[in-house]
Amino acid sequence: MVEISRRGFIIVLSSPSGAGKTTLTRKLLESDPSLAVSISVTTRPKRSNEIEGTHYYFIDQAKFDAMVAAGDLLEHATVFGNSYGTPRGPVEKVLASGRDVVSDLDWQGTRQLTESMTRDQVISIFVLPPSIGELERRLTERNQDHPDVVRQRMAKAMDEIHHYPEYDYVLVNHDLAKSMEILKGIVTAERARRTRQIGLSEFVREISRA
């Protein structure tokens, strides 16, 4: 009997800062141990609660520039003066094994990623806050950034929101539990997509002869 295998894909979540993509990404990974996480490189200084190799790989600008020049990044962007990028090698290795990868990126990174990979390898999801007021409240209560930074993030959020039409799915994050239910449903449906099934044609031919 012919066995059907599957191509892996990368699930990209984007949102304005504070809309919930990081929490949704973490909970999705916790809910499905078969998923792998894409760990970005960044030139941003490490925060006290961050762990090297878990949250990011923290590198200097010279090394980052060398990776860009060598084509070792699937995407890269500069945000608030810091550079971020997705290493190509680890992602391609996981996808080749048939596993799926989860990443959270801004719209610039997502656009580059879809240009660096084949279209069916990337599933993009844009997360919207329930309101601008709620978004500002979340950013303020995080208490990690100076008020000036919060204002910058709010201004940036207004621009980011307008990029939602570029995504495959849009999720309004009213309620975390409900959002997780929808997110897991998207992953399940994408895994069953016909075009991802390797060996499906041979399987159908075999059972048709039975």
Task: Express each pLDDT in 39-54 by its tens digit.
Answer: 999 999 999 999 999 8
Cα–Cα dist 134/179, whole Å:
16
**pLDDT over 90 at 119, yes or no:** no
**pLDDT over 90 at 136, yes or no:** no
Report the pLDDT value the prediction gives residue 144, as an integer from 0 to 100: 63
Comparing 26-40, 76-90, 128-142, 172-186, the range with the smallest average pLDDT is 128-142
Would you call 52 exposed, middle or buried from its count of C-beta atoms within 10 A (0-12, 13-18, 19+)?
A: exposed
Report the pLDDT value the prediction gives residue 143, as an integer from 0 to 100: 59
Which runs of consecutive H residues, i.e. helices, occur in the chain?
A: 21-31, 61-70, 88-96, 107-116, 132-142, 147-161, 176-191, 200-209
**pLDDT over 80 at 155, yes or no:** no
Tell which wins on pLDDT, 153 or 96: 96
Place of tokens 């949250």: 55
* Mean per-residue pLDDT, 64-85: 93
**Contact 136/154 with Cβ under 8 angstroms?**
yes
Q: For the segment 8-40, what is each residue's pLDDT rounded down to a tens digit?
A: 999 999 998 778 888 999 999 999 999 999 999
Cα–Cα dist 32/101, whole Å:
11
Q: Write out the two tokens for 198.
A: 């390797």
Report the pLDDT value the prediction gives residue 27, as an integer from 0 to 100: 96
pTM confidence score: 0.83
Place of tokens 């810091």: 82
**pLDDT over 90 at 64, yes or no:** yes
Domain residue extents for the chain? 5-38+99-209
* Mean per-residue pLDDT, 65-69: 97
Report the pLDDT value the prediction gives residue 176, as an integer from 0 to 100: 93
Report the pLDDT value the prediction gives residue 98, as an integer from 0 to 100: 92
* Mean per-residue pLDDT, 153-177: 90
CATH fold group of domain 5-38+99-209 = Rossmann fold (3.40.50)
**pLDDT over 80 at 137, yes or no:** no
Report the pLDDT value the prediction gives residue 38, as an integer from 0 to 100: 92
Residue 142 pLDDT grade (very low, low, confident, very high; cuts 50, 70, 90): low
